[in-house]
Structure 1
Amino acid sequence: MIKSMTGYGASVTDLANGKYTVEIKSLNSKFLELNIKLPKAFSDKEFFLRNECSKLLERGKVMLSISADVTDAGSKAATINKDLLKHYYTELKDVATLLGDDTKDLMPLALNLPEVVKFDENSVSEEEWKLMIQTFYKAEANFQQFRKDEGAVLEQDLSNRITSILNFMNLVVHEEPNRIPAIKEKLNNMLADAVGKENIDQNRLEQELIYYIDKLDITEEKVRLKSHCDYFLETLKDKDANGKKLGFISQEIGREINTMGSKANDANLQRYVVGMKEELEKIKEQLLNVL
């Protein structure tokens, strides 16, 4: 069973004061290219999420987006650094006195200075993290199902195209018995026209024909092509992701088709070879999207 490298999965967990949303998207890539977008509160969890994505998502250009929409302002309770506030206020008061300025509105100014007021939004509780990671795993499950559904469509298409290649090969097998006699007749006629039929050394001609026709024999190519196609179909059914393996098999299929085409020396066989090549090119395009 194959899976598509492109995919999409999302999950939302509703909270009493908001919601957590996780989205996973992927496109084609030879390796895992991971881009993670996290709320600041979960930034310390990035390493864990990267490890999980590496294990679960395998390959692809992946975008993981996590958002925390919290509506309750109380969940972002502030703390005041009293010592720092006192220091700022004293310094401001001294400067105001030195300049003869009013000192009654210094408190709001001191509260707005750096590090005086801190909001508790940069950390999350264990319970909040548990909810978030559950949301992530649900999104990942939806993402994997999307990949499987797309993979099923790809598998059917690839299977049909391999079957089409095999059908073209059967046409080659059916046509081939007519090829060798036609080649012999053509060579005999050419030689007769060139030197005269009575001047032909039949024994020497037969030797040369055997050598020449042996070079045009495509029996091995047919056997190997059939074997590679069968192996391709078997690999499609494996439970593991086999995109790269299928790519290697398709290269071997291409070699046999090209060799068959170079040996064909027959218009009908060449047409069938062209048909095989067309199907193989479409297979290679589809394999770019197979995990």
Structure 2
Amino acid sequence: MVKSMTGFGRASREIDGYMITVELKSVNHRYFEFLCRCPRQYGFIDDKIKSFVNSKVARGKIECYVGIEALNTESADVVVNNTLANAYVKALKEISTNYDLKEDFGASTIARFPDVLIVRKSEEDEEKIWQLVKTVANEAVEKFIDMRKVEGKKMYDDVYSRSQFILDTVSFIEERSPQTVKEYNDKLVERVHDLLGDVTLDEGRILQEVAIYADKVAVAEETVRLRSHISQLRDFISSDEAVGRKLDFLIQEINRETNTIGSKCNDVEIARKVVEVKAEIEKIREQIQNIE
């Protein structure tokens, strides 16, 4: 069944001397877009977790937060990010000069700024850290996908219901269309009688005019294609694969066939039904925008 592109998942676990947290949230997007925030010293994780998530999620704009805290500080190193510390000092001095303020900041002030002091375990193994993060990330992704599935089920129900309305309307049009031809025939005969009185009618000519009209308003091909498109639509929304783009194309085809029927029909009842179908198509299109 289809999945929504909107989702959230979070997992946190103390594992092998680390407290690791992974959080994922997403909104709809045409492609797969991934933004990861994690401690600078673990920047090597960015590409790894992106590939990991992309192996399980096809589309959506995803924001990922990774928190890694070393719990065993006895074997940890505290590293000074001198480049960043110098930048903070320079900025503070500039503020003091520009605003004629006293330079009363010291080492403790600089140390409190984000990422100036980096705490990490001695001789950390990058692959080991990644495997720990991957374990927690897998839990977060499962929760993330579960939420997408729940939202996807709601979308499935809505799209299926609206597609049934379209099918019911197609049935109505198929039944109504031959009646419009008969009504045209009756009106044509009545009009000729009004104009010519008791003059004998040319039945052949009447039948020819009715045949031309019937061919002009015939929508059998369009209704057959509409049924086929709706069948495909239902197959797609029942699939576990990422079908959002396919659905986007398919709904355009459904809309095109509906427009053709609307332009061909010369009947108030059919025209009204076409308007109702187009309203349902638009609602389906809105749902499709958030399907993976």
Are residues 1:143 and 2:163 paired? no
Percent identity (aligned): 31
Find the residue that maps to 1:187 and give its secondary structure. Answer: helix
Alpha-carbon displacement from aligned partner over 1:140-179 (angstroms, at most 9, x marks no partner): 1111111112111111111111111111112223323321
Cα distance in structure 2, aligned partners of 1:196 and 1:179 = 25
Query: What letter matches 1:121 in structure 2?
Result: R
Q: Does 1:186 align with 2:187?
A: yes
CA offsets 1:29-52 (integer angstroms, 9 cap, x no match): 101111111111210222222222
What residue is the counterpart of 1:95 in the other structure?
none
Which SS does the other structure have where 1:77 is aligned? strand
Cα distance change of structure 1 residues 51 and 177 upon mapping to structure 2, 3 Å threshold = same
Answer yes or no: is the 8 Å Cα contact 2:36–2:65 preserved in 1. yes
Please tell me the residue identity of whatever aligns with 1:24: L
Instruction: Tell me which structure has the larger Cα radius of gyration.
Output: 1
CA displacement, residues 99-125 of structure 1 (integer Å, 9 cap, x when unaligned): xxxxxxxxx9xxx9xxxx985539743
Per the alignment, residue 25 of structure 1 pairs with 25
- Measured on the aligned residues, the alpha-carbon RMSD in Å equals 2.8
Distance in structure 1 (CA, Å) of the matches to 2:124 and 2:154? 42
Tell me, yes or no, if structure 1 residue 253 matches structure 2 residue 238: no
Contact 2:177–2:218 under 8 Å retained in 1: no
For 2:52, give the aligned amino acid: E
> Aligned partners of 1:158, 1:27: CA distance in 2, in Å?
20
| Deviation at residue 55 of structure 1 after TM alignment | 2.3
**Contact 1:10-1:22 within 8 A present in 2 as well:** yes
Q: How much has 1:193 moved relative to structure 2? A: 4.5
Asked if structure 1 preserves the Cα contact closer than 8 Å seen for 2:15 and 2:132, the reply is no
Aligned pair count reads 257
Q: Please report how far the alpha carbon of residue 65 of structure 1 lies from its aligned counterpart in structure 2 after TM superposition.
A: 0.8
Q: Give the 5 Å matches for 1:206-245.
A: 206-245=207-246
Note closer, same or farther for the CA distance 1:235–1:15 as it changes in structure 2 (3 Å cut). Answer: closer
Q: Which shows bigger deviation, 262-271 or 10-19?
A: 10-19
The answer for the alignment partner of 2:36 in structure 1 is: 36
Instruction: Report the Cα offset of residue 284 of structure 1.
Output: 0.5
2:266 aligned partner = 265
Identify the residue that residue 171 of structure 1 maps to in structure 2. Answer: 172
Deviations 1:48-74 (A, max 9, x none): 222223322211111011112456654
CA distance in 2, matches of 1:232, 1:78: 58
Return 5+ residue gaps in structure 1 as ranges. 81-107
| SS across alignment from 1:58 | coil
**How far has the Cα of 1:16 moved from its partner?**
7.8
Taking structure 1 as the reference length, the TM-score comes to: 0.78
Aligned-partner SS, 1:56: coil
Q: How far did residue 76 of structure 1 move?
A: 3.7
In structure 2, the gaps of 5 or more residues are 81-106
Query: What is the TM-score normalised by the length of structure 2?
Result: 0.78
Distance 1:121 1:183 in 2: 85
Aligned equivalents of 2:78, 2:246: Cα separation in 1: 56
- Residue 120 (structure 2) aligns with: 121
- 1:60 maps to 60
Relative distance call for 1:55 and 1:15 in structure 2 (3 A) is closer
Instruction: Return the alpha-carbon distance in structure 1 between the equivalents of residues 250 and 188 of structure 2.
Output: 38
Partner Cα distance (1:231, 1:177) in 2: 27
Q: Are residues 118 and 250 of structure 1, via their aligned partners in 2, closer, same or farther at CA, if it must alter by over 3 Å?
A: closer
